[in-house]
Structure 1
Amino acid sequence: MDGLSEAEIRVLHEALDDEYKAWAIYDQVIADFGEVRPFSNIREAEARHIQALLGLFARYGLAVPDNPWPGKVERYASLQAACEAGVAAEVANAELYDRLLGATRRPDILVVLRNLQAASQQRHLPAFQRCANGGAGGCGRGGGRGRGRQHS
């Protein structure tokens, strides 16, 4: 099980492209609306997701594509609209990872993909849902970096 199959290479490229796009969208929201939660916290998480995938690219000797998304992503008229789009994106992300997980049996790739999917569904989606629904701690400016307790 040394070299990756073409399907596995496509899986890694598709996952990286999705994470690149998410990072670029959340970065654009921050550029447009300032350092607002949950975008500031989730942008940092997306950067960690990219790094996890880049570790797999390095392990398998794959060339790393540049992020094609900055400056090419949708912009939103309001923070509310951005949060609603975040919900839809995280729902679509779960479906993407369900499909990608079926394309490999390699334990190292499966662990990374499962971790990324879990972060999306267990942390990002609920944060965007709170924001879209106007819940406490959902949206807003925050000095914190998302690692401590959230105060309502």
Structure 2
Amino acid sequence: MKVAPPVHENKALEEALQRAFDDEVKAYETYSAVIEKFGAVTPFVNSIQAEQTHQEALIAVAAAHNVTLVRRVPENISIPNTLRECCELGVAAEIQNIQLYNELLLHVKDFAEVQDLFYRLQAASFNNHLPAFRNGVTSHATPHHTAEANPMAALEGMMGQWGEFSHMAQKIAKGEINQEEITKLLSTNFSFVAGALIGAVGASVLGGVIAPDDEKNEA
């Protein structure tokens, strides 16, 4: 008598894995479209290799839990006309990815290996992809974008926020920052100073989450 394959009992786990997979597929297809339009440009050529690895890791951990992931390619991916705008798109996508894993982690607390993978993928976005795309925005900026209309006003504004950034830096250094505060710091409402701070200090905090040989091809 043929035995039917086991039916997965935790629908929340299955949905969390599929949502994570959908987001990694979306990133892969979007970055592929950028490469098709502009050629093998960084950081997209590096990130696309990592996105493929992320998908394979999700498929493997899903299979271990009798979950079959469905590859759903998004339709009508719109690619901007400049590389700077494409990098801005990448920044937004990686921030959304970080926020998505914040949510998904709440649904996999009973599955240590899935939780571990989600943390690794979130850390990859935080430590590797987001800084790479943020640097891309800067490197592809035109003089119009890089020049402030009022440099002194911009400097005064940054100095006014420095107290808040310094306080956050101290919390990061002590390991006291939580997921909610990380997400807030990555919010697009914060200035570039916040991005620089989290890139320089935060990487040392979350860096230990990633395996030594993981993401070796990333920018």
TM-score, L = length of structure 2: 0.59
Task: Point out the structure with max Rg over C-alpha.
Answer: 2
Shift of 1:147: 4.1
The answer (yes or no) to whether the contact 1:38–1:127 under 8 Å persists in 2 is yes
1:43 is aligned to 48
Q: How does 1:58-97 map to 2 (within 5 A)?
A: 58-69=63-74, 72-97=76-101
Q: 1: CA distance between counterparts of 2:67 and 2:13? A: 11
The count of residues paired between Structure 1 and Structure 2 equals 137
| Matched letter for residue 87 of structure 1 | V
Correspondence 1:15 to 2:20? yes
Provide the identity percentage. 34
Shift of 1:62: 1.9
Superposed CA offset, 1:62-83 (max 9, x none): 22312323x6312111111100
Larger RCO: 1 or 2 (CA < 8 Å, sep 6+): 1
Question: Which range moved further: 4-13 or 124-133?
Answer: 4-13
Correspondence 1:126 to 2:131? yes
In structure 1, runs of 5+ residues without a counterpart are: 136-145
| Matched letter for residue 20 of structure 2 | A
Q: 1: CA distance between counterparts of 2:86 and 2:39? A: 13
| Matched letter for residue 37 of structure 2 | D
Which structure has more helix as a fraction of its residues?
Answer: 2
| Matched letter for residue 21 of structure 1 | K
Runs in 1 of length 4+ with deviation above 4 angstroms?
A: none
Q: 2: CA distance between counterparts of 1:121 and 1:53? A: 18
Q: 2: CA distance between counterparts of 1:4 and 1:109? A: 15
| 3-state SS of 1:62 partner | coil
In structure 2, runs of 5+ residues without a counterpart are: 1-7, 141-215
